[in-house]
Structure 1
Amino acid sequence: MAQRLAHLIPRRTAVAVLLALAMPAAFAWTNKPVRMLVPAPAGGTMDVVARLLAEQLSADLGQPVVVDNKPGAGGGIAIHTLIAAPADGQTIMVTASNVLTEVPHVLKSAFDPLKDIRPVAAIARSRLLMVGAPQLPAKDFKSLVSYAKAHPGKLGFASYSAGTASHYAGMIVNQKAGIDLQHVPFAGSGPALTQVMGGQIAVMYDGMVTSLPLIKAGKLQPYALAAKTRSPLLPEVPTFTELGYPDVDFSNWIGVVASGQMPEDLARKIQAAVDKAAQTPKVRARMEALGYEPIAELPLPQLAQSVRAEFDRNAGIVKTFNIQP
């Protein structure tokens, strides 16, 4: 077919057509439908990202990519489904990295996140930040610390779950700043943010993805970003590093993982296809609108090492603050 087209149209156009015809094959790792697991319910942010990525991958591969939501057990249900399937690239999973680096420390599981799972592609990052109710009299972090010290034992900080970075950040800031905000854990950001916006809880350490729309709507005020550098999404908000707390540096990437039994050459093919899909203008714009920041592509060994480093760091935090399951 490609040869017939080359005879029928001018040479320059023919070259472009031939390249276009070759592109799907270059990024395809399969000629069968793909199952994309998601460890979260339909309709949530992770599910939105997965469906966005699935739609683009389906177009690129010329095969259906079917999203299969498997919420529960801190991602454990989806992970067990993933590792029980053949490691042939027909079953992959879209997840946030904290399912591998945070949850296993506080939720008993029958899998090893560093051996049973292979990180394949990190496509975007969500950073943690400290937010509070607009009615709080403290309008910056320094005055918030003073306010907390003036009201010892009377203020709290919310987390979206015990044993997560949302919890870790609060404990570290308490220790380093010499304050005693009481930890109030929730089952997810939604109910926690409701309490913060209502003034029942002073502050929360939350992901950019869920807090950013509320900050823009004037329903939350941001105090500091848990990062080394400022975010282009909130350039006016200082980082904890700037404020003198470099240990308060937490973020999660969202991306694709596979069974730890998957061969590296197949994982590289999937990584190339996922990275290509994530860089399309439509996907990138939608991700940024959701509050995710693009991140540089990481080769498989470096990606695996970054997961291990974050896992080990979190293990140390859990031990230091005696955070229990």
Structure 2
Amino acid sequence: MPEATFRTRLRRAALVAFACLAVPASAMAWNNKPVRMLVPAPAGGTMDVMARLMAEQLSTDLGQPVVVDNKPGGGGAIAMTALLSAPPDGQTLMVTATNVLTEIPHIQKTPYDTMKDIQPLAAVGRSRMVLVGAPTLPAKDLKSLITYAKAHPGKLSFASYSAGTASHYAGAILNQEAGMDLQHIPFPGSSPALTQVMGGQIPVMYDGMVTSLPMIRAGKLQPYAVASKTRSPLLPQVPTFAEQGYPDIDFSNWVGVIASAKVPADMAQKIHDAAYKAATNPKVRERLEALGYEAMPVQSLQELNQSLHAEYERNAGIVKAFHIRP
């Protein structure tokens, strides 16, 4: 090979090597390494199913592995610790419901500060709250349920999927605004609480749509009101609390992708775009809706952050106003 040609090729190789070194690590992420997707729940639950749907579609879109890593326990604290301990390069993400970020920190000590340590990257599916009751309850609508509760003072109760959650908040607010005195009975999750409600041991529960919807459709629960300003497309026949005079009872959780607040802005935007591309895939959306989630519109990073912080602050106010404790 002529010496001049050799020198030319050597210079080109050096330029390519320099260019690679000059590219920030965050810009090279999601191109040549597996992505780890943490889930603060056991395998098999609805949050895990959503994470696996997203991981599968992202793997297809990106052409690289996206590995789901279940880390349940501690109200999300175990998974969150793993997220914040990982390098903030975008290779470790988390799929979670917002109650881990906006409810749990108000009633238990957590190893993270939602307002400082976390950034939401994509809100994929929303689960509204719904008031459900045992099929044997004589009350068939919210007005008659309130009348029935007042006719049995001190004798009725409501279940929640945990103390200090929106499921608890909604009951406290309706008690106050409707003049009822239903006693709060918290459970470690929706499933054990719903079992008690369906069996008639506890009259009613404020629950997420995802877990209650299959039971409503099967006739094992009767719905009284949806906790939102507008009716749910999944239960269009059920009126909202707002329609029935209780606009303050407006609660829902979204499940989506979050990352450490230290992940650089360009990397965060890249993940945002990829996550929403996966979430809007027709097959993914159809599966999410079958699980009881409502598809959500694409939001900017700024909108997601503002929404999350507003929900956090609102819940802090409710906890203080109603003296809610674990």
TM normalised by structure 1 equals 0.91
> C-alpha separation between the residues in 2 aligned to 1:110 and 1:208?
29
Q: How does 1:148-187 map to 2 (within 5 A)?
A: 148-187=149-188
- Residue 300 (structure 2) aligns with: 299
> C-alpha separation between the residues in 2 aligned to 1:176 and 1:35?
45
> C-alpha separation between the residues in 2 aligned to 1:229 and 1:95?
24
Q: How does 1:238-257 map to 2 (within 5 A)?
A: 238-257=239-258
> C-alpha separation between the residues in 2 aligned to 1:151 and 1:134?
18
5+ residue gaps in structure 1?
Answer: 1-27
> C-alpha separation between the residues in 1 aligned to 2:57 and 2:280?
10
Conservation of the 8 A alpha-carbon contact between 1:30 and 1:89: no
Give the SS at the match of 1:213. Answer: helix
| Residue 191 of structure 1, CA deviation | 0.2
Q: Is 2:130 the counterpart of 1:129?
A: yes
> C-alpha separation between the residues in 1 aligned to 2:117 and 2:241?
34
Q: Aligned AA for 1:232?
A: P
1:61-108 deviation digits (Å, cap 9, x = unpaired): 111110000011110110110010011111000000111000000011
- Residue 112 (structure 1) aligns with: 113
Q: How does 1:256-267 map to 2 (within 5 A)?
A: 256-267=257-268
Q: How does 1:25-64 map to 2 (within 5 A)?
A: 29-64=30-65
How many residue pairs get aligned? The number is 299
Q: Is 2:80 the counterpart of 1:90?
A: no
Give the SS at the match of 2:114. Answer: coil
| Residue 31 of structure 1, CA deviation | 2.1
Q: Aligned AA for 2:134?
A: A
5+ residue gaps in structure 2?
Answer: 1-28
Q: Aligned AA for 1:139?
A: K
| Residue 265 of structure 1, CA deviation | 1.1
Conservation of the 8 A alpha-carbon contact between 1:37 and 1:92: yes
1:170-196 deviation digits (Å, cap 9, x = unpaired): 000000000011000000000000000
Q: Aligned AA for 1:42?
A: A
> C-alpha separation between the residues in 1 aligned to 2:219 and 2:133?
11
Give the SS at the match of 1:115. Answer: helix
Q: Aligned AA for 1:286?
A: R
> C-alpha separation between the residues in 1 aligned to 2:31 and 2:243?
47
- Residue 20 (structure 2) aligns with: none
1:244-302 deviation digits (Å, cap 9, x = unpaired): 10000000010000011011111110010000001111100000000000111111111
> C-alpha separation between the residues in 2 aligned to 1:109 and 1:93?
16
- Residue 14 (structure 1) aligns with: none
1:14-73 deviation digits (Å, cap 9, x = unpaired): xxxxxxxxxxxxxx8432111000000111110010011100100111111100000111
> C-alpha separation between the residues in 1 aligned to 2:159 and 2:198?
11
Q: How does 1:308-323 map to 2 (within 5 A)?
A: 308-323=309-324
> C-alpha separation between the residues in 1 aligned to 2:59 and 2:314?
37
Conservation of the 8 A alpha-carbon contact between 2:132 and 2:221: yes
Compute the RMSD of aligned alpha carbons: 1.1
Q: Aligned AA for 2:155?
A: K
Conservation of the 8 A alpha-carbon contact between 1:29 and 1:266: no
Residue identity (%): 72
> C-alpha separation between the residues in 2 aligned to 1:199 and 1:94?
34
Give the SS at the match of 2:69. Answer: strand
Conservation of the 8 A alpha-carbon contact between 2:30 and 2:91: no
Structure whose alpha-carbon radius of gyration is higher: 2
> C-alpha separation between the residues in 2 aligned to 1:122 and 1:31?
26
Q: Aligned AA for 1:158?
A: A
Conservation of the 8 A alpha-carbon contact between 2:58 and 2:274: yes
> C-alpha separation between the residues in 2 aligned to 1:301 and 1:30?
25
> C-alpha separation between the residues in 1 aligned to 2:127 and 2:112?
25
Q: Aligned AA for 2:229?
A: K
Conservation of the 8 A alpha-carbon contact between 1:132 and 1:223: yes
Q: Aligned AA for 1:305?
A: Q
> C-alpha separation between the residues in 2 aligned to 1:69 and 1:87?
19
Q: How does 1:219-234 map to 2 (within 5 A)?
A: 219-234=220-235
Conservation of the 8 A alpha-carbon contact between 2:127 and 2:209: yes
> C-alpha separation between the residues in 2 aligned to 1:109 and 1:94?
18
Q: Aligned AA for 2:190?
A: S
- Residue 214 (structure 2) aligns with: 213
- Residue 282 (structure 2) aligns with: 281
